[in-house]
Amino acid sequence: MAHLLGGLAAPFLCKPISASSSSNYNYTSASSFDSLYIKRAAELADKSAGFTAPHPNFGCVIAVPNGGGTVVGEGYLYAEGTIPAEVQAVEAAGEQCRGATAYLNMEPGDCHCDNSAVSALIKAEISRVVVGIRHPLQHLRGNAIHALRSEGLQVDVLGEDAQNKTIEDAIKSCLLVNAPLLYRAACQVPFSVLKYAMTLDGKIAASSGHASWISSKKSRTRVFEMRGRSDAVIVGGNTVRKDNPRLTVRHGGDHLPRRIVLSQTLDLPEEAHLWNVSEVPTIVATQRGARRSFQRLLASKGVEVVEFDILDPRDVMGYLYDRGYLSVLWECGGTLAASAISSGVIHKVHAFVAPKIIGGKNAPSPVGELGMVEMTQALELIDVCYEQV
């Protein structure tokens, strides 16, 4: 089973955020371990992906400036409202914080309304702070860096005054771990990933509609992990009718994403796994005025129904943006996938390609009609990578 992924959006994830006029990064004084520890901070931050929304994923590493750059404390933000990564790392390091260097994958933001992250570093007498990237939100960008420098701490922003492959890789790690927040800040829509499994000849089901199973058990486990890192999972009405999915993560303790169904006409079954909202909510987005009686039925089951004048993926993404969603996973069929791509709301594609051939003139494909008539119109993915699963 091959796992292919690539981006449909601008490749800013591979580029460092540009320096501001206040940058005073001194590369000659930077430790050769800076990039290594920034990548470690990003790895720590990634442990809580899916749990911290609407806040970023934060990680912190504290190391003493000896010959080996020994790590004395680590921490990461577990979930929204929990202890900041910097506070955890300071508590773990204890007295060894004095004169040490703190490595942060992202500039802290005042998400606790008490500047606790910055205060912890100052009170612990940290002497130097290395930041992977500045905070992407304009009202927070630069605030923590300014506060730390005002207290006499040396603050370096990785890559703002020098570049090499190691630094670029470390910065990319910081960008990737908070890709949902970065895309949300830049595009004013949640970060959207289209996921599908297909045969080698590009089919997501047989001509009869039968699709169990194209993918392997390992790839399905990977999908559960992807769901656990998302704020919501979107399907269309056809998927509900044919597959009756649960859209769970099937791993105890994992983050449970909201389930969202897009259906213009509400031609949906009265009984479906998604109408059971005892563990996780379901939202049904539809066109205004569609099947009022069925809307009342869904409401009686605890399903939230949201009406749109025109059910367009971009309008739905705008609605989810207003509700604070950072990341959305699209697990829909070809028709809705084509509509989402045409609307410009898909940023990344995860394709699981099975070593199978099913054939069939009428067998469905992952993406429906896009209105393209020449190969020169085809959308080209960027930052493509693949692996065997």
DSSP 254-298: ---PEEEEE-SS----SS-GGG--SSS-EEEEEETTS-HHHHHHH
Two structure tokens written together for 215: 């993918």
Residue 125's identity, in one-letter code, is E
> Quick one: which of 124, 149, 169 has its CA closest to 23?
149
- Bridge partners, residue 193, by sequence: 329, 348
* Active-site option among 86, 107, 160, 331: 86
Which element (helix H / strand E) includes 182?
A: helix 179-187
Residue that is written with structure tokens 């930041």 in the block? 131
> Quick one: which of 304, 307, 298, 300 has its CA closest to 282?
304
- How far apart CA 277 and CA 284 sit, in angstroms, is 12
Burial class (CB in 10 A: 0-12, 13-18, 19+), 142: middle
**Cα-based distances in Å from 22 to 18, 52, 149, 217, 323:** 12, 30, 11, 51, 34
Two structure tokens written together for 146: 């300014």
Phi, psi at residue 349, to the nearest 5°? Answer: -125, 130
Q: Are 77 and 60 in contact (CB under 8 A)?
A: no
The vertex-107 CA angle with 101 and 110, nearest 5°, equals: 115
- How far apart CA 195 and CA 255 sit, in angstroms, is 18
Q: Are 5 and 350 in contact (CB under 8 A)?
A: yes
Two structure tokens written together for 234: 């979107």
State yes or no: is 380 an active-site residue. no
- How far apart CA 366 and CA 353 sit, in angstroms, is 11
Q: What is the DSSP letter of 355?
A: S
Give the residue numbers marked as catalytic: 86
